Homo-oligomer: A and B are copies of this chain.
């Protein structure tokens, strides 16, 4: 396929334009396939068929299958960084987790990819194990930092460092577990259930009833 469709203005006639777009297509397709079938069972052929090329084109672009997985994880990390809003701190960080959940619900593949790779990473020699472990460490560390900040600002009652660590882990556990339930049964109210549970955590931390502001619409 020569693909000599010289596009008009925007597309420069530079030599690597199509290759870059093709790479993006492949990474997006690979994300879907790995999310659905896992890394081991998700085949290069299926990805290639989705994109409309042959498996040889994939190994050409990414060296081998693990190289493609690395590209998928790198993109995941990059996208997560972009969604990160640095202005939110302290207890507001946890309230903002509902927006994360809403985003995940609208992008089901993200949850599937995390869960599938986590399950596979149960094996010590899985290529994504370090990434998954590191990502969890980072998320928990961030949560701990924000809850400590809230405590130091006097917004909480009776939380020592150990309790903070446990509470943060429990919040993310509840979040992950509800996402798992939603994957298996999309009929459940994911946001509502988490909001309910989150209010419970906040009430315990602050020692007073907590009213959650409604979810901002259009979080897309």
Contacts and interface: CB of A to CB of B under 8 A. Distances in A.
Interface stretch (A63-71, A118-126, A147-155): A118-126
> For the complex, would chain A's binding face be called helix, strand, loop or mixed by DSSP majority?
helix
A136 B185 contact: yes
Contact of A178 (B122, B169, B181): B169
A185 B181 CA distance: 22
A192 B170 CA distance: 11
A183 B166 CA distance: 16
Contacts of A116: 119-120, 122
Given A136-B184, A136-B185, A173-B176, 20 more contacts: A38-B120, A40-B40, A41-B41, A115-B115, A115-B119, A116-B120, A118-B119, A118-B180, A119-B120, A122-B183, A137-B185, A163-B196, A166-B193, A170-B193, A170-B200, A173-B193, A177-B177, A200-B201, A203-B204, A204-B204
A36 interface: yes
Contacts of A175: 173, 177
Of A119, A201, A204, most buried by chain B (CB within 10 Å of CB) is A119
A172 interface: yes
A37 interface: yes
A132 B174 contact: no
A97 to B, nearest CB: 13
A82 to B, nearest CB: 25
A100 B136 CA distance: 25
A133 interface: yes
A197 interface: yes
The list of the 4 closest CB pairs from A to B, nearest first, reads A173-B177, A177-B177, A119-B119, A176-B177
Contacts of A177: 170, 172-177, 180
B172 A119 contact: no
